[in-house]
Amino acid sequence: MGMTANRLLIEIERGALDSGVPLADTLRKCVALGGQARSVELRDWASRELNGYSGDDELPEWRKVHAPLQVDLISGHRHISNQTISRWDLPEFARDDLTEEVALVQGVGALEAMIRNSGENVVKLGPYMGADLVAHMNHANKNPYQHIERLYWAVSTTSVHGVLDRIRTALTALVAELRDAMPDDADNPTAEVANQAVQFIVTGKRNRVVVNSAQSSSAATSSVGQAQEQEPEPPGWKRWARVSGILGLIVAVVGGVAGVLQYLAG
């Protein structure tokens, strides 16, 4: 393995294993490695973790956390904070969109800053157009002595820590996948190896990349699907159709044999 790729992989692994190293620094090295390998998947994934995810990006499962919906409100002469509400307290049109699942789309730097700047054990994240929703709820409220000031998710800092920890784990697993797939004399992972490694670690949708090295020479070829998982069981109606087809074939064969025997007996 060439010194450049080897150095980057070692530094990425060290950064992932050392909680004292900012994740942003380690992810920037992933962007550099993706450029060397000409891997769009590696470069784009590291960039999204750095800069945040947009609405069109597929969000990794580890960035989805659960948190209660809460409001700060004034009721009479009392100011009430951190009041947990249910989805049934929301207007009907918002109940399907505002659940207790929160997508943490921010870049790692913003997530780390959330933890540092949190004066409590929670981070308050407002939903998109939350101010408009609050205005609608106040307008629809028939109680003139009650006024909602703010609507938000109370995300625990432990959950945010968990997201950052999962990113570190993904980086460590990514290095392991690349090392396992790269031939010993390769300078860089190929684009195919790097792309498939990212898809295997981040989305889990692709098969593990296996590299078959020729024993008599330094040449190596990569193949996808050598470690395929067992095909999932088809849905119930498909299993029924498959079994019905087999039974129909058996009935047809038995019927044919019976017809021949009847003809010979005659």
- The DSSP code sequence of 22-49 is -HHHHHHHHHHHHHHHT-HHHHHHHHHH
For the chain (length 266 residues), average pLDDT per consecutive 10? 66 92 94 93 96 92 95 93 92 91 96 88 92 93 91 96 95 92 81 92 66 39 41 41 43 45 45
The pLDDT, as a whole number, for residue 175 is 92
The pLDDT, as a whole number, for residue 5 is 54
The pLDDT, as a whole number, for residue 4 is 55
The pLDDT, as a whole number, for residue 232 is 45
As to burial, measured by CB atoms within 10 angstroms (0-12 exposed, 13-18 middle, 19+ buried), residue 130 is: middle
CA angle 135, 136, 137 (to 5 degrees): 90
| Distance of alpha carbon 131 from alpha carbon 136, whole angstroms | 9
Tokens found for residue 165: 């920890």
The pLDDT, as a whole number, for residue 206 is 56
Q: Which residue has the tokens 């990794």?
A: 60
